Structure 1
Amino acid sequence: MELIKVADYNNWQGIFEAIHEPIMHPKYFDHKTGVTAWCSGACVLIPVDIYQRIKGFDEDFFLYCEDVDLSWRVKAAGHQCFTCANALFFHYAMDRQDKELEIWKSAALLAHKWRSATFKQNAFQKWKQYIDLSDEDLKIQLNKIQPHSITDVEKAKPEFKHGLYFSKPMWR
């Protein structure tokens, strides 16, 4: 109900996330407005018209960073991402096999799509540690994916300088 209240207040012009428990994302959000850099896909309310306009989640992502990509596409479409501080949900995600491999694979893909050469190279190097493929084979995999337009990158303002937080951190 709290997510719906925040969505109503903002005229359903964005996407709206609940806060994870027992461990919330350390990314920053404005406590007055709820505005945040991106919304976690684990518990997010997305208006149908926005979801359809941005064509939903990108199937090139398997498990990580798909929500960051979706959020940045929402921002490129002219909307905001909001955290609802009064909406909580339980999300336990500690026992995932191959977590590091999937995180860095997705991070490299995200950086490729959003045109961050420096972060892409860093994520690429980390990804390589977990997989037995040549540099060339990994680059071929990434280069099959079309990057977002420069215009979309400028509108979304993707954040790579804080590493895997993809946002200014709330705390360290």
Structure 2
Amino acid sequence: PSPAAPAAPAPAAAAAAPEGRVYASPMARRLAELRNLRLGGQGSGLYGSLKSGDLAGAAPLAAAGAVAAPAFASAPAPAPGAAFLDIPLSGMRETIAKRLSAAKQTIPHYQLSATVNIEKTLKMRKDINERLAKEEPGLKISVNDFIVKAVASACKRVPTANSHWMESFIRQ
């Protein structure tokens, strides 16, 4: 049997450059894909990312027979026998992780659970939804709507329940 014919490059390859990852806006990537353009170089966006206006000088992609670079750099292969893969954090993810960790470590937390009989609430919800089906088809009230209303009312009645720890004081 003869070897299989080479596959055509994936459309997502329009957003890649041979030298590595290219930072471009989603609109620039989409336009490059539609116009069959290769993204590369320094753009006019934040930190040099490419914007759709930067595509005027973009070179066309290589011929269909050429092998295109992948749209995103692949993650490093795990070591033999490793059960996990370490993925580097972006700056934004790193900041979010640090802040969430700090919040969990420095702000007092507590959990509260309660059992509530909501049979009357469910009956009221059913009646409201039946009425709404006639007046506003497609509109429905969920159990969550009742919970949000109850929490908002409780926060007005008991403002200490919605207090925030602020290092040197409690904000109410």
- Bucket of the pairwise TM-score, normalised by the shorter protein: under 0.3
Higher strand proportion: 1
Between structure 1 and structure 2, the one with the greater Rg is 2
* TM score, norm. by length of structure 1: 0.18
* TM score, norm. by length of structure 2: 0.18
User: Relative contact order (alpha carbons < 8 A, sep ≥ 6): 1 or 2 greater?
Assistant: 1
